[in-house]
């Protein structure tokens, strides 16, 4: 079909990037396909009608207002390493894997840092949703975004000679990963949880139970929780979980992280 040929052509790709359409198109695809997946195999009942529109608005504002500011601040304070030549010469797939190992290790410790009492306010907005589904994960205060950007920016140094599309591939992978770990799906795989974070694994971290909120900090790989003693087995839970922070905080303070 002609329209499919156009979509796959270099000209259409150039059109999308020239008109800054990549992110809106990706977001639209996520709204359609991820929401459909949640409706087909839900883990819990979610009142989409009462929360979905506001979360769409909130995610848009975060993406176009908070995130650019946070990236600008992070760029000014990050310290990028000088890497050995053989690392810069790695094949793209190997560099991508190394990026995620380095970045995720740093993200694990930033995540634990934000759960310390002194810094909890920075992270509190992220834990405020009382229903877990894919859009619950967009909530990240300005300060949280600045701090979480740092390990990933350091890790991005491994792409010294990566093709032009690597930035967009990494950006897409982060968005889909964030959707995945917060997704409301009744899907499980015990063997997969030995390697990567799954929705039911991460939902424990969002539990209103403080003992659970200080566990399962992993963002991509579950190995860090197992290595550093913060792992809670989803199969060990005997009662249904509730979510949220158990208090009312002005939205402006949550968004600012203060």
Phi, psi of 172 (to 5 degrees): -65, -40
Mean pLDDT of the chain: 88
Reported as a single tens digit per residue, the pLDDT across 177-225 is 999 999 999 877 778 888 999 999 999 999 988 778 789 999 999 999 9
Q: What per-residue confidence (pLDDT) applies to 149?
A: 96
Q: 126, 181 in Cβ contact below 8 A?
A: no
Please name which of 193, 185, 189, 64 lies closest in space to residue 136, comparing C-alpha atoms.
Answer: 185
Reported as a single tens digit per residue, the pLDDT across 50-105 is 999 999 999 999 999 999 999 999 999 998 888 778 888 888 889 999 999 999 99
Average of pLDDT values for 33-60? 93
Reported as a single tens digit per residue, the pLDDT across 104-124 is 999 999 999 999 999 999 999
Q: How confident is the model at residue 4 (pLDDT cuts 50, 70, 90)?
A: very low
Q: What per-residue confidence (pLDDT) applies to 81?
A: 86
Does position 164 have pLDDT exceeding 80, yes or no? no
Does position 174 have pLDDT exceeding 80, yes or no? yes
Q: 110, 150 in Cβ contact below 8 A?
A: yes
More confident residue, 246 or 74: 74
Average of pLDDT values for 149-153? 96
* Buried-exposed string 216-232: b where 16+ CB fall within 10 A, e elsewhere: bbbbbbbbbbeeeebbb
- Whole-structure pTM value: 0.90
Q: What per-residue confidence (pLDDT) applies to 131?
A: 94
Here the tokens at position 78 are: 């990050």
């Amino acid at each position: 079909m002609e329209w499919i040929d156009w979509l796959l052509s270099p000209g259409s790709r150039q059109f999308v990037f020239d008109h800054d359409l990549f992110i809106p198109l990706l977001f639209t695809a996520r709204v359609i396909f991820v929401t459909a997946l949640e409706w087909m195999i839900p883990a819990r009942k979610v009142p989409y009608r009462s929360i979905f529109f506001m979360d769409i608005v909130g995610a848009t504002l975060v993406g176009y207002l908070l995130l650019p500011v946070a990236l600008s601040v992070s760029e000014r304070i990050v310290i990028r390493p000088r890497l050995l030549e053989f690392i810069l010469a790695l094949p793209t797939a190997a560099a991508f894997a190394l990026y995620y190992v380095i970045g995720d290790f740093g993200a694990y410790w930033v995540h634990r840092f934000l759960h310390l009492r002194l810094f909890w306010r920075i992270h509190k907005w992220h834990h405020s949703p009382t229903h877990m589904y894919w859009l619950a994960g967009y909530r990240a205060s300005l300060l949280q975004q600045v701090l979480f950007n740092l390990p990933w920016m350091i890790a991005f140094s491994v792409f010294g000679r990566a093709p032009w599309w690597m930035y967009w591939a990494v950006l897409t992978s982060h968005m889909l990963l964030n959707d995945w770990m917060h997704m409301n799906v009744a899907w499980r795989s015990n063997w997969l949880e030995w390697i990567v974070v799954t929705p039911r694994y991460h939902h424990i971290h969002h539990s209103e139970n403080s003992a659970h909120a200080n566990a399962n900090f992993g963002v991509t790989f579950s190995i860090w929780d197992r290595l550093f003693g913060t792992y809670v087995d989803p199969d060990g839970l005997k009662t249904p979980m509730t979510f949220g922070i158990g208090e009312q905080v002005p939205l402006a303070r949550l968004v600012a992280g203060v």
